[in-house]
Amino acid sequence: MNILVPLDFSDATAKILNTLKPLAKGLSAKVWLLHVAEPQPGLVAYTGGFADYGSGFIDYGPDPKTLRKQIAQNFQKNHQDIQREADKLRADNIETTALLIQGAILDVIFREVDKLDIDLIVVGSHGHGAVYDLLVGSVSKGIIKKAPCPVLMIPTHPRAAGKSRA
């Protein structure tokens, strides 16, 4: 069995992975941890201290070298974070591969689901309200709507921890 776990390195990550461990062990599953680094907003041109970010908005931005360095540092940190999480699962004898891919989040997730022959997607629910989801969107909700395989949603918000089962 192949399990894909998209991670955003929020506070929910530990809860998702702790819930995943017994499931992955019980199913003798191979786990694919995935972090999607979103592409930078359409940086189209940079000339003489002005940057056009694709929206027609002109701003004094950092020089291109500084911008590339910041992007590279963020990518390197994400790489270290995903490898650290994969190492923790491997230490528990769970076959794990870490993936760090740049692109549109849902597009990358579904491409990897197809490519890796994923049987189950495990995601966390941050518990944001309807207004937040309307304005910002919800990756988990997008996964549920379009997933070609079962999705296990793990509630990770503080309200979930306080609820008792009746």
Residue 161, amino acid: A
Report whether pLDDT(4) > 80. yes
Question: Taking the CB of residue 10, how many other CB atoms lie within 10 A of it?
Answer: 12
pTM of the full predicted structure? 0.77
Contact between 81 and 66 under an 8 Å Cβ cutoff? The reply is no
pLDDT (tens digit, 9 = 90+) per residue, 124-151?
A: 876 555 544 444 457 888 898 899 999 9
How far is residue 32's CA from residue 44's CA, in Å, rounded to a whole number?
Answer: 33
Q: Which DSSP state fits 160? A: H
Domains, in order of start, for the chain: 2-162 (3.40.50.620)
pLDDT tens track for 37-57: 877 654 544 444 444 555 555
**Could you give the angle at the alpha carbon of 114 between the alpha carbons of 139 and 110, nearest 5°?**
15
CA distance 122 to 115: 17
Output the pLDDT for position 124.
85
- The average pLDDT across 64-81 equals 84
The Cα–Cα gap between 14 and 163 comes to 19
